[in-house]
Amino acid sequence: MMRPIRWLLPHPFLTLLLTVVWILLQNEFSAGMAVFGLILGIVIPVLTARWWTDRPHRIRPMRMIAYVALVLWDIIIANIQVAWIILTKSNASMSPAWVVVPLDLKEPEAISILAGTITLTPGTVSADLSANGRYLLVHALDATDPDAVRDDIKDRYERRLKEIFV
Amino acid sequence: MSLDIIATYAVAVLLIIGSFFVVVAGIGLLKLNDPMTRLHAPTKAATLGIGAYLLAAMVSSFLSGSGSLHELLIMAFIFVTAPVSANFMAKANIHRRDCLPNPPELPDGDTWATLNVPEEDREIEEAPPNA
């Protein structure tokens, strides 16, 4: 019983995402469009499944939503902070720094979400990943204490991502 | 006060917020003096600025009776692509040895992926920039 469902829906989240994106692209809601979106959402994952290197990991959706809300809030705060730094600090008094973040996450999806989060939030841009994927290179705009930035990233984002990707 | 008036003011306020952040991004791009710090201004300030513009567009479309949710998609795509373009610019800076100071060394023989150049491309990688 499980096998046909897994064959038809190799990636239920992708199916849902494609359907929602299709309906939003139409910009008006009608039953026909929803059905067509659902067809696309089922056909595209089935056709592309053979090129995935491995099956997507199981995630906890509720925690993912909480994480997205936290990140959106942080983005707003980050923008105000960066605007304040740009407008009030002189170039000489800024202390840009490299921060090396050792990673506990293993899944490529989780690492890319972490890197994206770092770029969108307070004064940090993720610049590079180490060759074997164990360290993340982060550039901080104004960090007097790079270690505090590293601990903040690990505690605020990486810990939550570890709970999402179980 | 009717809902129309409140919505109109909301659109105006959102446009002002958006413009403020986009102007700050522009100022940052001109003011900051090193390629890596310059990266910070547009990737962040511009995301919230454009986000506020799109919210204004969405409120205004519902105000005129023809609701539109396209803006949600635009916002989602910007949030997904902004870190990727920032990462590419950072990688270009690392290749050009343009960041002061250069990225720190890693423990136990690990290297940064950007600097992990295959043997046959060593010459190009080590040539001075702008040569």
Q: Is residue B29 part of a domain?
A: yes
Residue range A118-149, pLDDT digits in tens: 888 767 888 888 877 788 888 888 777 878 88
Q: Is residue B69 part of a domain?
A: yes
Residue range A96-119, pLDDT digits in tens: 888 888 888 877 778 888 888 888
Q: Is residue B90 part of a domain?
A: yes
Statement: residue B105 has pLDDT above 80: no
Contact B34 A86 (CB under 8 A): no
Taking CA atoms, what residue in B is nearest to A130? B112
pLDDT band at A43 (very low <50, low <70, confident <90, very high): confident
In whole angstroms, what separates CA A59 from the centre of its chain? Answer: 13
pTM of the complete model beyond 0.95: no
Residue-by-residue DSSP string for chain A: -HHHHHHH-S-HHHHHHHHHHHHHHHTS--HHHHHHHHHHHHHHHHHHGGG-SSPPPPB-HHHHHHHHHHHHHHHHHHHHHHHHHHHHS-TTT---EEEEEE-----HHHHHHHHHHHHHSTTEEEEEEBTTSSEEEEEESS-S-HHHHHHHHIIIIIHHHHHHB-
DSSP annotation of B112 reads: B
Residue range A50-74, pLDDT digits in tens: 777 666 667 777 888 888 898 888 8
Between these two residues, B55 and B95, which has the higher pLDDT value? B55
pLDDT band at B131 (very low <50, low <70, confident <90, very high): very low
Look at residue A3 in the predicted model and tell me its pLDDT.
65
d(CA A69, CA B105): 35
Q: What is the mean pLDDT of chain A?
A: 80
Chain A touched by B94 (CB under 8 Å): yes
Determine the straight-line distance between the first and last CA of chain A, rounded to whole angstroms. Answer: 25
d(CA A164, CA A111): 12
Chain A touched by B29 (CB under 8 Å): no
Chain A touched by B90 (CB under 8 Å): yes
Look at residue B16 in the predicted model and tell me its pLDDT.
94
> By the 8 A CB rule, do A138 and A101 touch?
yes
Proportion of chain A above pLDDT 70, given as a percent: 90
Chain A touched by B68 (CB under 8 Å): yes
Q: Is residue B122 part of a domain?
A: yes
Q: Which of B82, B90, B99 comes nearest A120 by C-beta?
A: B82
Q: Is residue B102 part of a domain?
A: yes
| Per-residue three-class SS string for A110-129 | HHHHHHHHHHHCCCEEEEEE
Look at residue A94 in the predicted model and tell me its pLDDT.
79
Contact A25 B73 (CB under 8 A): yes
Pick from A19, A22, A76, A82 the residue to mutate for testing the B interface (most B CBs within 10 Å).
Answer: A82
Structural domains of chain A, with CATH: 2-51 (no CATH), 61-164 (3.30.70)
Q: Which of B28, B31, B83 comes nearest A119 by C-beta?
A: B83
Enumerate residues 6+ apart whose C-beta is below 8 A from A26.
A33, A37
Rounded to a whole number of angstroms, the CA Rg of chain B reads 21
Residue range B33-44, pLDDT digits in tens: 777 778 777 777
Q: Is residue B131 part of a domain?
A: no
Chain B touched by A90 (CB under 8 Å): no
Chain B touched by A141 (CB under 8 Å): yes
> By the 8 A CB rule, do A113 and A96 touch?
no
Residue range B46-90, pLDDT digits in tens: 778 888 899 898 888 888 877 777 888 888 888 888 888 888 888
Beta bridge partners of A100: A137
Contact B112 A137 (CB under 8 A): yes
pLDDT band at B97 (very low <50, low <70, confident <90, very high): confident
Enumerate residues 6+ apart whose C-beta is below 8 A from A79.
B21, B44, B45, B47, B48
Contact A131 B111 (CB under 8 A): yes
> B101: cis peptide before it, omega within 30°?
yes
Residue-range definition of the domain harbouring residue B118: 3-126
- Residue B4 Cα, gap to closest chain A Cα (Å): 23
The total number of structural domains that make up chain B: 1
Contact A91 B31 (CB under 8 A): yes
Q: What is the mean pLDDT of chain B?
A: 80
